[in-house]
Structure 1
Amino acid sequence: MKGEAKSVDDIMIIGIAGGTGSGKTTLTNRLKERFGDDVTVVYHDNYYKRHDDMSYEERSLLNYDHPDAFDTQLMIEHIQKLRQGIQIECPIYDFADHNRSDETMVIHPTKVIVIEGILIFENEILRNLMDIKIFVDTDADVRILRRILRDVQERGRSLDSVVNQYLTTVKPMHEQFVEPSKRSSDIIVLEGGNNVVALDILIQRIHNHVRGTMV
């Protein structure tokens, strides 16, 4: 398979964190577009805990920006397997239903694995699995506008629900958990994938790794 890692030493793990709407996904997509099958992306959002025991209304009231909302232990186990060259069955989260889907997706270990999420630096064990830790830092006003557009247009949310969630959980959780995790990063990138200079530096680093491990 093109891009598949041949040994543990072949694999570079990059963490991309930052607040909601900061530009993490844009940066991740730029890397995926540039390196194709040499890059695999694992999203922390897919590891939200399953809540079949709750109604839709109850699930919609949960705090999805607290570390306890995620099954991070499962993600750690999956990243460890990928680093060992073992494929995983990654869960899939349904944002419209506020619950995990019954479906999973197979993820193969590749030369570069990108982990993306708002809280991936909050957990020390997960953080220590990463070779490069990038924090995307963007103005709060820009982030909330991006979140509103994304949740309304892509996730079927109402404007009122998005604004209410931002004020009651997203903003305070960002200040309590996300912003402090910036101190654990190796690189702080302003404006995510729109920062051409930072993107070029990162692309060169990945290019050197991919080229150096190709057989």
Structure 2
Amino acid sequence: MESLIRQINEVINTAENRIFIAISGHGASGKTSFARRLCDSLDTDYNYMNTDTYIIEGRHLGNTYADYTVDGSRSTFKITACMPIRHELNSLTRDIKVLKNGARLTTIDKPWDAEKVLDGSRKVTIIEGMSAAFLEDFNFDLSVYFYTDSETELERRKKRDVEQRGRSLDTLISAQKHRRDQYDLFMHPLREKFDIIVDYSNNEFKMIKSNL
């Protein structure tokens, strides 16, 4: 991980213009931890935008389910954040354009991400979260995509979602296969548009692709 952070810093330090970086991947893949480490390493002014605030909250969806095909068989499950329909992409696209135009914006206030002012004139802007992968206007100076195997994801979710967020372990486990199916169908195929692809399975950091 540290090697990749150093490489990204080299790109930033030699760039004459502002840099926009996208960091994405499925839930519990390690993208947020990496983004925070990257932010801590920067010696220049930066913006950090967590795109989880652009995910439509489950309470607004009610009993909304999606039908899709997995290995030739029909599957029905609730819409998760691994599907583009769960993300308010028009608003995210607009806000990124605001920053690219050098203006300021105030982020959405959430319990996990307090409201803050982002300034488009800053040297570095990091757009981190699942939503970034689904953007049709995918125009970033640098992009990193994270993924991990199902077992590692589930173990991380147990620590985060159950121990820290108080969610039901049984519900978490029962939803895991459906979540991975949706991820494989709707999100993982988008990885090829990223400059860097990282496999973070078994807590081992492996770069599968790098166009640095």
Q: Normalization by structure 2: what TM-score?
A: 0.71
Structure with more helix by fraction: 1
The CA distance in 1 between the partners of 2:101 and 2:48, in whole Å, is 16
Q: Corresponding residue for 2:100?
A: 83
Q: Which of the residues 183, 186, 195 maps onto 1:186? A: 195
Task: Give distance in 1, aligned partners of 2:175 and 2:51.
Answer: 19
Q: Hey, what does 1:72 align to over in structure 2? A: 89
> Would you say 1:137 and 2:125 are equivalent positions?
no
One-letter amino acid matched to 2:188: E
Contact preservation (8 Å) 1:122, 1:177: no
After superposition, the CA RMSD in angstroms is 3.2
Mark the runs of 5 or more structure 2 residues left unpaired by the alignment. Answer: 1-15, 65-77
CA shift for structure 1 position 51: 7.3
Partner of residue 28, structure 1: 35
**Would the alpha carbon gap of residues 36 and 21 (structure 1) be closer, same or farther in structure 2, given more than 3 Å must change?**
farther
Q: Which structure's relative contact order is higher, taking Cα pairs within 8 Å and 6+ residues apart?
A: 1
Q: TM-score, normalised by structure 1?
A: 0.70
Equivalent residue for 2:116, pick from 81, 88, 105: 105
Larger mean CA deviation between 61-70 and 176-185 belongs to: 61-70
Secondary structure at the counterpart of residue 171 of structure 1: helix
Alignment partner of 1:146 is 2:156: yes
Q: Structure 1 stretches of 5 or more lacking a match?
A: 1-8, 96-100, 206-215
Identity across the alignment (%): 24
Q: Which runs of 4+ in 1 moved over 4 A?
A: 50-55
Partner of 1:49: 56
1:156 is the counterpart of 2:166: yes
Change (3 A) 1:36 1:69: farther
8 Å contact kept, 1:136–1:191: yes
The number of equivalent residue pairs is: 180
The alpha-carbon deviation at position 161 of structure 1 amounts to 2.1
Hey, what's the Cα distance between the residues in 2 that align with 1:53 and 1:121? 22
Alpha-carbon distance, 1:132 to partner: 0.8
Match of 2:13 in 1: none
Q: CA deviation at 1:189?
A: 2.2
